[in-house]
């Protein structure tokens, strides 16, 4: 996997939220998010939207790593463990890339490498 991803540089929302792309390429990606006070919800744990944004950014980087524009057509996320702070990491892996539909699995983990959330996404590729 490479460390550069021109696609991610255009993702203003993910960068605004603090998501940092670590590496991306060949259907895979890794990203991280340092949790700040504005990422917390009313009960003091990491907001589901912050976790979703991290996973979605890794999904976008992985699904757009094949020189074709890919957009999400279906996403499912399951929150498995509350996160309270520190740094969260997301690892996206391509499950299937046949044809126009790509399937991706993304695991979000905390600093103890415990799974916080699992995110499954389908991407539609606009072939040239």
Mean per-residue pLDDT for 106-119?
Answer: 98
| Model confidence pLDDT, tens digit, residues 40-79 | 999 999 999 999 999 999 999 999 998 889 999 999 999 9
Half-sphere exposure of 68 (CA within 13 A, CB side): 17
Taking residues 101-108, report their average pLDDT.
Answer: 97
Question: Is the Cβ–Cβ distance between 44 and 104 less than 8 Å?
Answer: no
- Round to whole Å and give the CA distance between 15 and 54: 10
Q: Across the strands, what pairs with 126? A: 69
Radius of gyration of the chain (CA): 14
Computed over every residue of the chain, the mean pLDDT equals 92
Structural domains in the chain, sorted by start: 6-126 (3.10.129.10)
Other C-beta atoms lying within 10 Å of the C-beta of residue 8: 21
């Amino acid at each position: 996997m490479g460390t550069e991803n021109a696609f991610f540089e255009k993702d203003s929302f993910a960068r605004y939220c603090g998501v940092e792309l670590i590496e991306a390429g060949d259907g895979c990606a890794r990203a991280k998010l340092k949790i700040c006070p504005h990422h917390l919800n009313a009960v003091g744990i990491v907001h589901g939207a912050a976790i979703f944004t991290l996973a979605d950014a890794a999904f976008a980087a992985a699904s757009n790593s094949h020189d074709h524009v890919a957009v999400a057509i279906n996403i499912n996320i399951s929150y498995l463990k509350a996160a309270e702070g520190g740094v969260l990491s997301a690892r996206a892996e391509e499950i299937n890339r046949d044809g126009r539909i790509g399937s991706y699995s993304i695991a979000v983990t905390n600093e103890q490498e415990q799974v916080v959330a699992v995110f499954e996404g389908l991407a539609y590729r606009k072939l040239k």
